[in-house]
Copies of this chain bind each other. A is one copy, B any other.
Amino acid sequence: MPSPEKTSRGAIVAAGRDILEAGGREGLTMQSVATRVGVRAPSLYKHVRNRAALLAAVSEAAVAELAARLEGTDGSLEELVRAYRGFARDRPEGFRLMLSQAAPPEALGRAADPVLRACAQLAGEQDALDAARLVTAWATGFIGMELAGGFRLGGDVDRSFEYGLARMRRALGPA
């Protein structure tokens, strides 16, 4: 490699992830990323097509991290959902970005797989996909509202979460 590279795509994405969590989506500017990796802003375009592509890459990295966390559980419904919520707590902006950017199918599939397996056990192979969508939609919606500062009608949010989890398990079981 001629001219020793001062940065790399990986470093850029990692910096983007950190900046995203620190300053939100708006704070993630090409300038800020360039400064953090020790380079001028235009140089980033040698590694990333444009800002949208950078956001997509950061989003994909978030999905990958989520998948890894899910794979680190025992595969039970409760553990999976709690791991999902834990991820959102640690990387709230990454969670939000993930939802607004369509991730590539393969990364998405890796994250979806353990959920599908758990749902197949609970609801049967036939209904596994529908059941997974039920659980995923509930968890995603709950966490999203929690992060957005919803749930302002009082009550204990953790209690609502456990209530939902219990009812979800019941909903998936045999009629």
Interfacial chain B residues near A96, Cβ < 8 Å: 100
Alpha-carbon gap, A167 to B149, bound state (A): 27
Interfacial chain B residues near A149, Cβ < 8 Å: 102
Decide: B167 and A129 in contact? CB cutoff 8 A: no
Alpha-carbon gap, A122 to B175, bound state (A): 17
For residue A141, CB closer than 8 A to chain B, the reply is yes
User: Can you tell how many copies of this chain the complex includes?
Assistant: 2
Select which of B133, B144, B160, B167 is within 8 A of A99 by beta carbon: B144
Closest B residue to A175 by beta carbon equals B170
Interfacial chain B residues near A29, Cβ < 8 Å: none
- A108, A145, A149, A167 interface centre (most CB from chain B within 10 Å): A167
Bin chain A's interface residue count. Answer: 35 or more
Chain A interfacial positions (CB closer than 8 Å to B): 96, 99-100, 102, 105, 108-109, 112, 127, 129-131, 133-134, 136-142, 144-145, 148-155, 159-160, 163-164, 167-168, 170-172, 175
- A-B CB proximity, top 9 nearest: A141-B141, A137-B141, A171-B171, A137-B142, A140-B141, A130-B163, A167-B171, A138-B138, A134-B164
Interfacial chain B residues near A144, Cβ < 8 Å: 99, 140-141, 144
A163 shortest CB reach to chain B, Å: 4
